[in-house]
Amino acid sequence: MDLTDTRDDIRDADEEPPDFSEWDDPEAVLKGGPIRERMLDVILLLREPAKVSTIAERAGCDTETARDYLGWFTEMGMVRERAGRPVRYERNDSYWRWRRIEQIREKYSDDEIVEVLSETMDQIADYRERFDAETPADVSLVDAEDGTSVEATWKALSDWQTLERRATLFDAARREMHASGASDGRIDA
């Protein structure tokens, strides 16, 4: 008997299959985590300023709890408070960018940062040559006829844009290692 085979006697022939309608709703399961995590998830998904009540509803908590967390997140710099009636909150993208740069600095050595940045810049150069453009935004899907499908071209442009963002983050991490005095040697990427 192969390990992937199911034995014949594993289930009683008279046994009914499970009733999936009795299972927990997936959204309820996802909202079952700690409030702080749910609030962070909502904050990360904010694309425009939102009212406390909107954020609370999305996080599945009451407005007072949301207001408390938003106050703490504001003090930490994770969100910005927009004054007015009603008060609105928005994600502070510079905080999240700084956090990502710090994560890169923690994960990679100075030499590895330069190596990743160099490899990323080489890949970007390949895309620039392939599409004869400086940025992905300069390429029109309609006009790009290199023998590939629109979907394949779109994916290539999306990958290129991701590489551009990666290069920006790794370059910032590289520059910050010099600003903080982390490395004395001159590094040319």
- pLDDT, one tens digit per residue, over 138-153 is 998 877 666 778 888 8
Placement of tokens 């790794």 in the chain: 170
Which stretches of the chain are DSSP H helices? 26-30, 35-45, 52-59, 63-76, 93-107, 110-131, 150-179
Burial class of residue 132 in the structure, from the number of CB atoms within 10 Å of its CB (0-12 exposed, 13-18 middle, 19+ buried)? exposed
Per-residue model confidence (pLDDT) at position 141: 82
Per-residue model confidence (pLDDT) at position 33: 75
Tell me the C-alpha distance between 97 and 105, whole Å. 12
Cα distances (angstroms) measured from residue 45 to each of 38, 54, 71, 111, 160:
11, 12, 18, 33, 23
pLDDT lower than 70: segments of the chain: 1-13, 17-32, 144-146, 178-189
Per-residue model confidence (pLDDT) at position 145: 67
Position 132, amino acid:
D
Per-residue model confidence (pLDDT) at position 107: 96
Per-residue model confidence (pLDDT) at position 13: 66
Position 33, amino acid:
G
Per-residue model confidence (pLDDT) at position 41: 94
